[in-house]
Copies of this chain bind each other. A is one copy, B any other.
Amino acid sequence: MKRKPSTEATSAWIRLMRVQSRVLDCVEQDLKKAGFPPLAWYDALLELSRAPSGELRPVELERQMLIPQYSTSRLIDRLVDEGLACRRECKIDKRGQFVEITEAGRELQKRMWGAYSAAIEKYVGSKLSDADAVKLSGLLDRLGCSCGEMKLPPIVHANETTPSR
């Protein structure tokens, strides 16, 4: 039952780790150079903007983003500090609250998407044919599911192309 990892699996693992950290670095760097906040902010803003009335419970945001609870809590603090979101009381559960994206938040999200999508194109799109991108997605999906209980949110993560304006 206890197999040793194939060299192929090990090599795939190593590449997965190295390539994503490298590519992520490049993308974050581009965004930062363009004067934008970290990608996590974008992710949060996007989730909020896609929510029914632009608001989510922190606990939902947390589950969407797959980050720890305290991390969500502090991310929200920062968004609120910057006026990108605001806290709203939650009448049906007084432990909780809602976080609502502001107009400034929506705007920033859209502006970031411009730089973000350009970076994705630069570091991913231009290196892979559509067909290969699909293959890659498929292979990755198989890894993703069920490390414990994985919940890949619906799929779309980015706006449709060119959302600003």
> How many chain A residues have a CB neighbour from B under 8 Å?
58
Most buried by B among A2, A66, A123, A139: A139
- B12 close to A124 (CB less than 8 A): yes
CA distance A6 to B52 in the complex (A): 26
Contacts of A158 in B (CB 8 A): 5, 10, 14
In angstroms, how far is the closest chain B Cβ from the Cβ of A21?
A: 7
Q: In this assembly, does A51 line the interface, its C-beta being within 8 Å of a C-beta of chain B? A: no
Contacting chain B: which of A77-85, A104-112, A149-157?
A149-157
Given contacts A11-B155, A133-B12, contact A127 B148 (CB under 8 A): no
Instruction: Enumerate the 8 nearest inter-chain pairs by beta-carbon distance, A residue then B residue, closest first.
Output: A9-B125, A8-B133, A5-B121, A19-B144, A26-B147, A15-B140, A12-B133, A20-B20
- Interface residues in chain A, defined as those with a beta carbon under 8 Å from any beta carbon in chain B: 2-26, 66, 117-118, 120-121, 123-125, 127-128, 130-137, 139-144, 147-148, 150, 152, 155, 157-158, 161-162
